[in-house]
Amino acid sequence: MASMRKKSRGDNLVLRYAILGAWALVCLLPVLWFLSIGLRPRTEIITPQPIYWPTFSLDAWHMIWSDWPMARYLRNSVLAIIGSVLIDLVLAIPAAYSLSRYTYRGRDDIGFYILSTRMMAPAIVAIPIFFLFRNAGLLDTIWALMLIYAAINLSFVTWIIRSYMLDIPKELEDAARTDGASDLRILWEIIIPAILPGIITASVIAMIFAINEFLFTLLIASTSQAYTMSVALANFTGGSDGVIYNAIALVAFLAFVPVFIVVVAIQKHLSRGLTMGAVKG
Amino acid sequence: MARIELADIQKKFGLVWGVRDVNIDIADEEFIVFLGPSGCGKTTTMRMIAGLEEPTEGEIRMDGEVMNDIDARDRDVAMVFQGYALYPNMTIYENIRFPLRMRGVPRAEQDALVRQAAGLVELTDYLDRKPQALSGGQRQRAALARAIVRQPQVFLMDEPLSNLDAKLRQAMRVQIKHIQRQLRITTVYVTHDQIEAMTLADRIVIMQSGAVQQIGTPDQIYNDPANTFVAGFIGAPPMNLIAGRLADGTFTAPGLRVTGLPERRGGKVTLGIRPEDCHVTVGADHLQGIVFGVEPTGETTYLTVKAGEKLVEVKADRDFRADLDTPVAVGFDTTRLYLFDTASGDRLR
C-alpha cells in the first residue's frame, strides 16, 4: 500500500515536471528564437524558405562590439538603471512609511496623486521634459536617464512598498519604541528588513520598466554618450545596411540577460513578494 | 521600582471617549491588573502609561515626575504585547539584546544580561533561532525575556497569554508571577480573563466603557463587588443576578422569595448570589424552580435551575444528578446575598 502510494506520487512528480518543463519551453521560445537569429548570418535570416539546420555564425556578435560602442551602451544601461532604482528606494521608502504609518490631513489624496502620475500618457510630458533637461544642461547624460527612469517608476515603487508596510503589525513598532528605538532606527532595523521581499519586488519591476524605456531615452540621449541598449537597437534599423536583424536580436538578448539573471537569483523573494502584494495589497 | 499615578486621565478618540476619569495610584512593586471586556479602555490606559498614546487630559506621573511629554523610548518601561511583537528578522538572542543596544548598554555587559534573562525564562537553548522557529509558548517567553532584560522601572503586559492554549497559560501565569516577585518590578497587566486577574493581581482595576468600575484586591472584588457589572464579570460561573422587587425586607421574583433582608429601601432591586453560595434543599426554600440542565465537571456539578424565565446557576454536590424538568428547591446562604439597584446597577449597602 505504502509503496503503491509512493510510486503513484513518483509518477505524479514526473508528470508535473513534464508539464512545467513544457510550459517553460513555451515561455522561453521567443528568447531562444531571437538568440538563434542573433547567431546566424544575415543572409540566412531573410530567406523566405525555412532553414531547418541553421549555420552558426558570430558575425553579428563581432559587428556589435567592433562597429558600435556596445560596451558603453551596456554600461549606460546598467548605470542608469541601478542609479534610478537607488533614487527610487531612497525616496519611496520614507514616502511609503509616511503614507502607511502617520495620519494627517490629505494623506490618502497624496497617495493617490503619487499614483496618478503613472496614469498619463508619457508623450504629453515629453516636450516639457526635454526643455527642462536642456535648461538644466543634463541632455545626453546618464544622470538625466537616472532621473527620468526614477521619476517614471517612483509612483508604483512607492505604492508597492506602502502596501507591504501596511501589512506589518503596528505592535512591532510599538515594541521597538518602548525598547528605546527612534523612528529612523525603527525604519532601518525593523521595517526595512521586514519588507525586504517588497523592496526587491518593486526594484525588479522598476528595472524591467527602465531597461525597456525607449521614448524618453531617445529624447534625452542624442549621442552614444548616453545611448542605452534599448535605443541602440534603433541604430540597426535605419542605416544604409537596412534592418540588421541579427544584430537587433543579439542586442535584445543581451538586454534580456541581466534582468533574467537578477530575477533567477532573487526568485524566492520575488515570488513571495508578488503573491503577498497580490493577496494583501 | 516605581510608583505610577494616573490623575484624572481622559482619552478621546475624535468624538469617542476611550478612557474617562481614571484615577489610580499604583504602588511600587505592585502587580496591578486591568480587567474588563474588550473595548473597555484597559489597553488604552496601559498604552498611555507606556507613552504610545497621549492622554487628552490628566497627568501620568512616575515617582512623582510628570511623564506626559516624555517619549515612549525615554520612559523606563518595558512592554509585552499580545502578539509578542518579536522582530522577525532577528534571532531570539538579537531580539532580547535589542533594548540593551537601543539604550546604549555597553557591549561587554550585553551578552551576560541577555543570557541571564534567557535563563530566567528557560530559553537558553533557543537563542540562535528565529522567532518563526519557536512555538507559541516559547515566543511568549522570548517576549518576556526581552522585557526583563534591561530591568525596567515598570513592566506593562498587554494580554500576554491570550494566544496560548489553556494548559500553557496556567504554566506561564505562574512563571510571570514568580518573575515579578523575584525582580520586584511594578507591573501593569491587562487582561479580559478574570482567572488571570484573580490569580496574578495584588489589586484589580475593573473597567467598563472607559471608566473604572472598582479597584480592589481580588478578595474585595470577589466578595464585595461595587455594582452588577463587577459582580457579573468576576467568578466562573458568574454571580446570579435576579431582578425583582424589595418590600418590607422581602425580596420577590418569579419562583423566588427571600425574607429578612435589611429594609434600607424598596422598589426595583436586583439580588445577587454566587453559585457556590446556593445549595439544593429538600422541601421549599428561597428558590423553587425546575431543572434546566445538569453539568458534572468531576469535582463538582453545576445545576441550572429555571425559575420563571430566569436561569439560576447553582453549585451542587459532585454526586448530584437530576432529570430535566423535575422540580427543585434551592436555598441561599443569606449572609452572602448582595442587593443592587436595578436601574443604576449600584450596590445597595
B220 burial type by CB count under 10 A (0-12 exposed, 13-18 middle, 19+ buried):
middle
Set of cell numbers at residue B200: 496574578
Among A259, A262, A234, A254, residue whose Cα is nearest residue A65: A254
Q: Do B87 and A172 touch (CB under 8 A)?
A: yes
**Contact, A106 vs A47, CB < 8 A?**
no
C-alpha cell of residue A146: 537616472
Q: What is the mean pLDDT of residues B280-309?
A: 92
CA-to-CA distance for A60 and A41, rounded, in angstroms? 7
Name which of A267-281, B103-117, B177-191, B300-314 the model is least confident about: A267-281
- B277 versus B262: which is more confidently predicted? B277
Nearest to B26 by CA among B71, B77, B72: B77
**Domains of chain B, residue spans:** 4-232, 238-341
Please tell me the distance in Å from B194's CA to the nearest CA on chain A: 24
Contact B81 A176 (CB under 8 A): no
Rg of chain B over Cα atoms, rounded to whole angstroms, equals 24
Q: Write out chain A residues lying below 8 Å of B75, CB-based.
A: 178
Contact A41, A246 (CB under 8 A): yes
Amino acid at A87: I
CB A263 within 8 A of CB A204: yes
User: What chain B residue is nearest to A171 in terms of C-alpha separation?
Assistant: B85
pLDDT at residue A280, rounded to an integer: 37
A174·B83 Cβ contact <8 A: no
Rounded to whole angstroms, how far apart are CA atoms B180 and B182? 5
**pLDDT confidence band for B265 (50 / 70 / 90):** confident
Query: How far apart are the C-alpha atoms of B176 and B35, rounded to whole Å?
Result: 17
What whole-number distance in Å separates Cα of residue B10 and Cα of residue B54? 10
Query: Domain holding A71: CATH number?
Result: 1.10.3720.10
pLDDT score at A233 = 80
Q: Is the pLDDT of residue B63 over 90?
A: yes
Q: Omega before B237 cis (within 30°)?
A: yes
B156 contact residues in A (CB cutoff 8 A)? 178
Which among A179, A185, A193 has CB closest to B89? A193
A258 within a domain of the structure (yes/no):
yes
Q: H/E element holding B250?
A: strand B250-253
User: Which chain B positions have a beta carbon within 8 Å of A182's beta carbon?
Assistant: 73
Question: Which ranges of B103-135 would DSSP assign to H, the alpha helix?
Answer: 107-120
pLDDT bracket for residue B117 (50, 70, 90): very high
Which helix (H) or strand (E) segment is B232 a member of?
A: helix B228-233
Angle at B182 between CA B179 and CA B184, to 5 degrees: 100
The pLDDT of residue A8: 56
Mean pLDDT of B107-115: 94
CA distance A177 to chain B (A): 5
Max Cα-Cα span within chain A: 79
H/E element holding B242?
A: strand B240-247
Beta strand B338-341 pairing with B301-307: unpaired
* Closest chain A residue to B105, measured at CA: A180
Q: Residue range B210-224: average pLDDT?
A: 95
Cα distances (Å, whole numbers) of residue B251 to B80, B274, B285: 48, 17, 13
Residue to substitute from A170, A178, A184, A196, interface B, most B β-carbons within 10 A: A178
How open is the CA angle B300-B302-B305, to the nearest 5 degrees? 150
Measured distance CA(A95)–CA(A86) in Å, rounded: 14
Domains: count for chain A = 1
Question: Which of B189, B198, B181, B183 is CA-nearest to residue B46?
Answer: B189
Q: Do the chains contact at B87 and A180, CB–CB below 8 Å?
A: no
Coil, strand or helix at B180:
helix
Find, in chain A, the residue whose alpha carbon is nearest to that of B96: A179
Q: How far is B196 from chain A (nearest CA, A)?
A: 22
Q: Is residue A51 part of a domain?
A: no
Spatial separation of the C-alpha atoms in residues A51 and A191, rounded to whole Å: 56
Read off the DSSP letter of residue B202: S
- Nearest CB among A181, A194, A196 relative to B102 is that of A181
B238-341 CATH = 2.40.50.140
Measuring CA to CA, which residue among B2, B132, B144 is closest to residue B79? Answer: B144
Residue B101's pLDDT is what? 94
A–B CB contacts, 8 A cutoff, strictly below: 65
Give the gyration radius of chain A's Cα atoms.
Answer: 24
Quote the cell numbers at residue B240. Answer: 446570579
Residues of B in contact with A172 (CB under 8 A): 85, 87
Tell me if A174 and B82 make a contact (CB, 8 A cut-off): no
Question: Looking at CA atoms only, how far is residue B283 from chain A in angstroms?
Answer: 59
What's the pLDDT score for residue A201? Answer: 87
Which residue in chain B is spatially nearest to A181 when comparing CA positions? B102
Distance CA B31, CA B183 (A): 12
Mean pLDDT of chain B: 92
Looking at the DSSP bridge assignments, the partners of residue B313 are B304
Residues 6+ apart with CB under 8 A from A151: A117
Q: Do B73 and A172 touch (CB under 8 A)?
A: no
Question: Could you tell me if B105 lies within 8 Å of chain A, comparing CB atoms?
Answer: no
What 3-state class would DSSP assign to B175? helix
Q: Provide ipTM, 2 decimals.
A: 0.84
Mean pLDDT (whole number) for B308-318: 93
When CB atoms are compared, the residue of A171, A181, A182 closest to B85 is: A171
Q: Is residue A13 part of a domain?
A: no
**Distance of alpha carbon A254 from alpha carbon B87, whole angstroms:** 41
Contacts of A176 in chain B (CB under 8 A): 87, 98, 102
Report yes or no: B104 and B95 within 8 Å, Cβ to Cβ.
no
End-to-end alpha carbon distance in chain B: 37
Residue A259 lies in a domain: yes
A174, B88: Cβ pair inside 8 Å? no
| Superfamily name and number for B4-232 | P-loop containing nucleotide triphosphate hydrolases (3.40.50.300)
> Between the CA of residue B119 and those of B83, B113, B134, B307, what are the distances in Å?
22, 10, 16, 56
Domain ranges, residue A136: 64-280
> What one-letter code names the amino acid at B209?
S
Q: In angstroms, rounded to a whole number, what is the distance separating the alpha carbons of residues A218 and B122?
A: 65
Which residue do the cell numbers 534571532 mark? Answer: B91
Is A238 a domain residue?
Answer: yes
In a domain, A69, yes or no: yes
What pLDDT shows up at residue A236?
A: 77
The pLDDT assigned to A7 comes to: 53
pLDDT of B124 above 70 = yes
Per-residue model confidence (pLDDT) at position A55: 82
User: A7 lies in a domain?
Assistant: no
* Mean pLDDT along residues B40-62: 94
Grid coordinates representing A97 are 512609511
Say if the Cβ atoms of B73 and A177 lie within 8 Å: yes
| Least confident span in A228-242, B265-279, B307-321 | A228-242
Output the DSSP codes for chain A: -HHHHHHHHHHHHHHHHHHHHHHHHHHHHHHHHHHHHHTS-HHHHT-SS--SSPPP--HHHHHHHHTS-HHHHHHHHHHHHHHHHHHHHHHHHHHHHHHHH---TTHHHHHHHHHHTTTS-HHHHHHHHHHHHHHTT-TTSHHHHHHHHHHHHHHHHHHHHHHHHHTS-HHHHHHHHHTT--HHHIIIIIIHHHTHHHHHHHHHHHHHHHHH--HHHHHH--STTT--HHHHHHHHHHSTT---HHHHHHHHHHHHHHHHHHHHHTHHHHHHHHHHHHHH-
- Kindly report the nearest CA distance between residue B121 and chain A, in angstroms: 19
Whether A271 contacts chain B with CB within 8 A: no
Return the pLDDT at A238. 66
Shortest Cα distance, chain B CAs vs residue A267, angstroms = 19
Tell me which residues of chain A have a pLDDT lower than 50.
1-4, 277-281
